[in-house]
Structure 1
């Protein structure tokens, strides 16, 4: 395993001092962490990137692959859980990365419990820009998006749940959702089966009535559960297959989604385009747009150059747990690799065991990328 060089005292002190002055307490989570939270949230695919071990009780442990989850776990275990609290961090993380060091430094901020979401989002972006400045990088590209807008759009379209899940999953796992949305989301397995006629009959029916019919038929047949699934769960899955077999989303829904995904540019212009889309399509996504517009206002109040900020409705960071604002800071000309990246992840705390939802937003700093950018003449 590679040995991470200690951070330069100058920029490390400047960075941590700036975080402390902003009210963020320095956190130092344990390097050895339970593996389950990382596997549960990121899926088994992350296993090949983790450095795993097992303790005497058989619990699977890992060297922390990032610091967001460890900081969140420590917060939930503290007396401040549920209350507004902010933390900063700087330390090594361990993750296999082909061709690159497996041990590397990560810095960042996590903010928990703040109900003033637009203001908290804007503060994260402002602090991220300040962090880039600590490395001598004054000129960066600001790329932003908001998955809450996409989720609100899909909810307002009132699609079958299978389409909602599939569209949101595809959106979350791609940096940019392509325009050929029919091909991306509507492919079904080839071939026919003996239930093809039943599936076709159910495809266009009222969902509640169809679900009740399938549930009743399975109950009459004496089915209680199969493979751990209840009758209702099996019936819902059967109905999903019927919907997929129908072969297409409604054309008006496809047109609306494509128009939504084409919105990009300065945030203020995007707000106007979103309101026009909502009015034309008669969709109630006002609350999500209002939150977006409020965030833009707080960004401007913090001196962030709105005209230089790029917003895109199709922007996503490729991770399932983001629930709202997302952003990346790029060194101009460095391609797709971000220097700083983060966003809102309000669902994380309940996934980690909190009984009540707790708002959360933060960002991570890729220290090696920032150091490299600073050395190559980041300040312009």
Structure 2
């Protein structure tokens, strides 16, 4: 490892190798347009720009993700594929130096999206644990898809899942919904099975239940509103 790298660089590269990644190098001088296209013109004042002899706008690489992905496309390499990198990036910052090291992994093309997301989280945690061995790390996930998957796994009725999902991102709304869930209001006008079907938003099941009740009572479904109409209205009111 050449001396310009930090002392921990060898440990980082060993971790990358253990996590089944392909180490890559990308050029320090990069076309500026891909970065500006992705991050907007606001990035222009924070990167170091120059111009080639042919008039192309170039910059010192401000990060690795875009160059790694562009090189992957240019090489026509297959996927899934995991790339790791460690090297200098260059950005003008209000605090700290304008040249610093960046290490990371680009995990491309895995069809199992949830598995790839979990692996990326584990990669980041392993790298930070290596670099900051004495720090207690906490993970905060802000992905609504994960939140909705947790709600589904809890087996909550559909109505409650929808209400809690709508509260995602608002602590006050979520606390109010959880308080109602812990002490749900009782609707004395609905029998137990009907109340459960209404709360679950099970239109087909509720329609079938109502149709059965009408048949037992000798009521004709064609004389008024259909069981499906009644079920839909009950669910809407709930």
- Scaled by the length of structure 2, the TM-score of the pair is 0.60
Is 1:133 the counterpart of 2:115? The answer is: no
Q: Is the 8 A contact 2:60 2:90 kept in 1?
A: yes
Q: Identify the residue that residue 116 of structure 2 maps to in structure 1.
A: 120
> 1:69 & 1:312 partners in 2: Cα distance?
33
More strand, by proportion: 1
Is 1:80 the counterpart of 2:77? The answer is: yes
Distance 1:99 1:129, change over 3 A: closer
Q: Is the 8 A contact 2:152 2:161 kept in 1?
A: no
Superposed counterparts of 1:1-380, under 5 Å: 6-9=4-7, 11-81=8-78, 83-135=79-131, 136-137=133-134, 139-146=136-143, 271-272=150-151, 279-280=158-159
> 1:278 & 1:34 partners in 2: Cα distance?
52
Distance 1:132 1:45, change over 3 A: same
Number of positions where the alignment pairs a residue of Structure 1 with one of Structure 2: 163
User: Which string of whole-angstrom CA distances, capped at 9 and with x for unpartnered residues, describes residues 68-98 of structure 1?
Assistant: 10111111111314x2110111100001101
User: Which string of whole-angstrom CA distances, capped at 9 and with x for unpartnered residues, describes residues 315-354 of structure 1?
Assistant: xxxxxxxxxxxxxxxxxxxxxxxxxxxxxxxxxxxxxxxx
Offset at residue 58 of structure 1 (A): 1.0
Offset at residue 8 of structure 1 (A): 3.2
> 2:15 & 2:155 partners in 1: Cα distance?
41
User: Which string of whole-angstrom CA distances, capped at 9 and with x for unpartnered residues, describes residues 72-125 of structure 1?
Assistant: 1111111314x2110111100001101321111100000111111111111111
Distance 1:110 1:45, change over 3 A: same
Distance 1:116 1:105, change over 3 A: same
Q: Is the 8 A contact 1:94 1:102 kept in 2?
A: yes
| Runs of 4+ deviating beyond 6 Å | 273-278
Task: For structure 2, list consecutive stretches of 5 or more residues without a partner in the other structure.
Answer: 172-238
> 1:137 & 1:64 partners in 2: Cα distance?
31
Distance 1:19 1:282, change over 3 A: closer
User: Which string of whole-angstrom CA distances, capped at 9 and with x for unpartnered residues, describes residues 227-278 of structure 1?
Assistant: xxxxxxxxxxxxxxxxxxxxxxxxxxxxxxxxxxxxxxxxxx9822898898
From the CA coordinates, give the structure whose radius of gyration is larger.
2
User: Which string of whole-angstrom CA distances, capped at 9 and with x for unpartnered residues, describes residues 184-219 of structure 1?
Assistant: xxxxxxxxxxxxxxxxxxxxxxxxxxxxxxxxxxxx
> 2:86 & 2:144 partners in 1: Cα distance?
28
> 2:98 & 2:152 partners in 1: Cα distance?
44
Distance 1:146 1:52, change over 3 A: same
- Higher relative contact order (CA closer than 8 Å, sequence separation 6+): 1
Task: For structure 1, list consecutive stretches of 5 or more residues without a partner in the other structure.
Answer: 151-268, 287-310, 314-380
Q: Is the 8 A contact 1:28 1:89 kept in 2?
A: yes
Distance 1:72 1:137, change over 3 A: farther
> 2:14 & 2:44 partners in 1: Cα distance?
35
Q: Is the 8 A contact 1:52 1:60 kept in 2?
A: yes
